[in-house]
Chains A and B, each alone.
Chain A
């Protein structure tokens, strides 16, 4: 029953957004695939969510003074966003250009960091790296404030090369030192980070020319009195950086790759695709939006072999579910439990386990996390009072007068976002529906029972292995 257009649109929205209810898929499919890609890419042309209203109801959430406040505010923003790709890219960079509050102990600075990332999420990569290098959160997280002219701290210089741009094996230890030297003097103005007596004050970037090593440096074969900006400009144009970013984008948007530390020894899943993306990066003056345009319009992205080839991250599970069932689209109590739900599945927003971010793919899954994933989604899609679930029940009721168990299962899969499952799974679901007796809905009682059966089937679909994938 699903048209190919809608299935492809569902794939696009699972990746470029947080999934979408069936009505949205229909509307977008009617608009066309390329037009939708363009609309997602030009995020800033869409009116933003109503941040002032969110701040009114989530008092203290914006640039908050406590972790739950900023976590809740971002979670709300992801659920409510009118610019799904911008938010998805913010999440993407958050998993790579990592910073976390357990080291910062300064929620407001963590939140400012995410705002900076969002603003640069779809722009030129070197611009993002320059902003990142001046970002107080990063200066704290990777110790650049302790890197001085006469005693460098290599932490930021190293991770900039290893984790944020080129990847291991493409630079020398000397390059690390040179980069670290170039970023000396990129520090913070003195600030108060105790929350007593009146809450913390924001950190501010400060360039201290006195503490900057202005000497000549040889970096990646080039010689000069490089400052941090020069280093970033050199890094940005390296083919290694192009490949590294391309592979990250492939991993996040197309199909799960092996974990990053294995990239040096394991070739990409689809080397040709990574090359296409790397070329797009180099040819567009390092513009991420241009790379994504190529990615979403490419055959390797649209190909059915990569549908469901990524395990959803916990945040995708939570946000996607809420958008599907139409709950929490505006601020309401309970956002904290959604943040906690993602945490229970292994992803504490704004607090990654280390500078390597979260290990995704298969590593999202363990018994505790899977229990939490299944129950979280099942409890919501089984709640017949939620508007998104009600719409599914209504749409299903409209299909035909009498509905066979297999049509019923196919209909539920379709309305949950054009989901495809393996035939064994489908047969298990059909067998279950058959066991439940006829799907009639002539009387009030039968209609209530029909609705219950829908809720139950949605729960089972949510608990399937296939549903764990995007």
Chain B
């Protein structure tokens, strides 16, 4: 590996399905909030205030204690883009490709990975903990490992027995040896197959090398973050990690479901940083949590429907905590079609992270210049 442990690392958590920002960072002293949310609101005596206007959802308490109160958590209110799209697919595409107007193909993190490792020297510069590659990481020719399970990563995982699988992998390696005259695509396949074997060999050591006193919960996001910690601590040169947490699409029974999601997520993030700190490996890791849009201002009697104007979180030791951008107004005349109006272009968050953290030129990655924030 050509990188050292102290190179800046970015961990991105996608909150899939549109997190209800209004019930995550709550305008608890605004009577309009309770007017619009007769069913889906958090009572004033349960919220966790962060100032005179805003409070966290009680399930974010662990994050408040560990990051907010120590000045290591930035809230970016009203993150969105012009002409909000309320389709999950489309809006997620826009966040992934930074292309609100046209259908983009390349993912912003795929571009960032290409800039971090232009010769694709390390097949693990980008690692996604999940089954298939999110578009944010996809750029033709940029290798990114999508790992559902660290111990099980690789080909022919269905063959039972260690001996049998190893023998099968021997055959695979032999079949993927480039031969003279077999053609460009065959050679390319051979190279790709060898990359897979190499990646699997490297990744395999991560869980083996890992030991920690932190006990992660069994839920999917905690396990994904544990996997990220294992790879990070194995010092494999990975600079961009990605994972997703679902499903925030709380059209109904939101009070229960939304609580459960954050009850899983908040402690998992805390455990992750505890784990890194235990190994003195946290100061070079910044985490971004984003979602594709916010939800309606008014509840629907049980949940909330698709809206716009969400919010993002940036967490980590190098982060200058606090509130950035403006919390959108709930006044009916300020709303956009029944939604919070976006107050800050999300591409500014990306630009800030790319330039001030990963040391890259943001413009070509996000497709323009956007106002950056001082959270780094």
What is A's interface to B at a CB cutoff of 8 Å? 67, 100-103, 105, 196, 256, 311, 340, 343-344, 351, 353-355, 359, 361-363, 365-368, 370-372, 374-375, 378-379, 382, 422, 424-425, 428-429, 431-432, 435, 456, 459-460, 463-465, 468-469
Q: How far is the CB of B102 from chain A (nearest CB, A)?
A: 8
Q: Which residues of A contact B85 (CB under 8 A)?
A: 105
Q: When the two chains form their complex, are residues B159 and A382 in contact, meaning their CB atoms are under 8 A apart?
A: yes
A354 and B192 contacting across the interface, CB-CB below 8 Å: no
Given known A102-B90, A354-B105, contact A456–B193 (CB-CB < 8 A): no
Are A378's CB and B156's CB within 8 A?
yes
| Cβ B174 vs Cβ A465 within 8 A | no
With contact pairs A102-B87, A343-B132, A459-B159 given, residues A366 and B172 touching in the complex (Cβ less than 8 Å)? no
Contact B146 A368 (CB under 8 A): yes
Tell me how far the C-beta of A64 lies from the nearest C-beta in chain B, rounded to whole angstroms.
Answer: 15
Are A102's CB and B154's CB within 8 A?
Answer: no
Of B144, B155, B188, B190, which one neighbours A375 at CB under 8 angstroms?
Answer: B155
Query: How distant is the Cα of A256 from the Cα of B192 in the complex, in angstroms?
Result: 19
Residues B89 and A102 in contact, CB atoms below 8 Å apart: yes
Instruction: Report B119-155 CB contacts with A as 1/0, cut-off 8 Å.
Output: 0000100001001110100001101111000000111
Set of chain B residues within 8 Å of A372, measured between Cβ atoms: 131-132
- Is A465 a contact partner of B176 (Cβ separation < 8 A)? yes
Which listed segment binds A: B7-15, B179-187, B271-279? B179-187
C-alpha spacing A354/B310, complex, angstroms:
26
What residues on B are CB-neighbors of A435 within 8 Å? Answer: 167
- Which residues of chain B come closer than 8 Å to A103, judged between CB atoms? 90, 103
Task: Mark out the residues of chain B between 211 and 265 whose CB falls within 8 Å of any chain A CB in the assembled complex.
Answer: none
Proximity bits, B293-327, A CB within 8 Å = 1, else 0: 00000001000010000000000000000000000
Residues of A contacting B172 in the complex (Cβ-Cβ under 8 angstroms): 460, 463
Contact B175 A365 (CB under 8 A): no
Main secondary structure of the interface of A (DSSP, over half): helix
Number of B residues near A (Cβ < 8 Å) is 53
Complex Cα distance, B186 from A196, in Å, reads 50
Cβ–Cβ < 8 Å partners of B167 in chain A? 432, 435
Q: Shortest 7 CB-CB distances between A and B: which pairs?
A: A105-B87, A344-B132, A102-B89, A428-B174, A368-B146, A379-B158, A465-B189
Assess whether B179 is in contact with A460, with CB atoms less than 8 Å apart: no
B residues in contact with A365, CB < 8 Å: 185, 188-189, 192
Q: CB of B171 within 8 A of chain A? A: yes
Contact, CB under 8 Å: A196 / B305 = yes
5 A-B contacts, Cβ less than 8 Å apart? A340-B131, A354-B103, A367-B145, A371-B146, A428-B175
Assess whether B305 is in contact with A378, with CB atoms less than 8 Å apart. no
Q: Please name all residues of chain A whose beta carbon is closer than 8 Å to the beta carbon of B186 when the two chains form the complex.
A: 465
Q: Quick one: closest A residue to B146, CB to CB?
A: A368
B192 close to A370 (CB less than 8 A):
yes
Shortest CB–CB separation between residue B83 and chain A, in angstroms?
Answer: 13
* A-chain residues with CB within 8 Å of residue B339 when the two chains form the complex: none
Query: Smallest CB–CB gap between B337 and chain A, Å?
Result: 11
For A102, A196, A343, A379, the residue with the greatest tally of chain B CB atoms inside 10 Å of its CB is A102
B89 near A428: Cβ-Cβ < 8 Å: no
The reply to whether A355 and B168 contact each other, CB–CB distance below 8 Å, is no
CB distance from A438 to the nearest CB of B (A): 17
Whether A362 lies near B184 (C-beta < 8 A) is yes
At the interface, yes or no: B20 with Cβ under 8 Å from chain A?
no
Cα distance, A369 to B271, chains bound together (Å): 32
Please give me the residue from chain A that is nearest to B168 by CB atom.
A460
Contact indicator A105/B158 (Cβ below 8 Å)? no
The complex places the Cα of A362 from the Cα of B183 at a distance, in Å, of 11
Residue of chain A at shortest CB distance from B90: A102
Most chain-A Cβ atoms within 10 A of its Cβ — which of B154, B158, B159? B158
> Which of chain A's residues has its CB closest to B174's CB?
A428
Q: Is the CB of B155 within 8 A of A368?
A: no
B196 interfacial contact with A, CB 8 Å: yes
Cβ of B157: which chain A residues have Cβ within 8 Å of it?
375
B117 at the interface (CB under 8 A from A): no
B196 touches which of A344, A367, A424 (Cβ 8 Å): A367
Q: How far is the CB of A65 from chain B (nearest CB, A)?
A: 14
Taking a contact as CB atoms under 8 Å apart, the answer to whether B156 and A363 are in contact is no
| CB closest residue in chain A, given B176 | A465
A375, B196: Cβ atoms closer than 8 Å: no
Contacts of B175 in A (CB 8 A): 424-425, 428-429, 460, 463-465
- Out of B158, B182, B192, name the residue touching A422 (CB < 8 Å): B182
Bound complex: CA A355 to CA B93 (Å):
14
The answer to whether A370 and B193 have CB atoms under 8 Å apart is: yes
Known: A355-B103, A368-B132, A375-B158. A465 touches B190 (CB 8 A): yes
Tell me the minimal C-beta distance from B197 to chain A in angstroms.
Answer: 10
Partner of A424, one of B153, B158, B164, B177: B177
| CB nearest to A106 among chain B residues | B87
User: A83 to nearest B CB, angstroms?
Assistant: 30
Q: How far is the CB of B81 from chain A (nearest CB, A)?
A: 15
Question: Do the beta carbons of A375 and B156 come within 8 Å of each other?
Answer: yes
Q: Is the CB of A361 within 8 A of B185?
A: yes
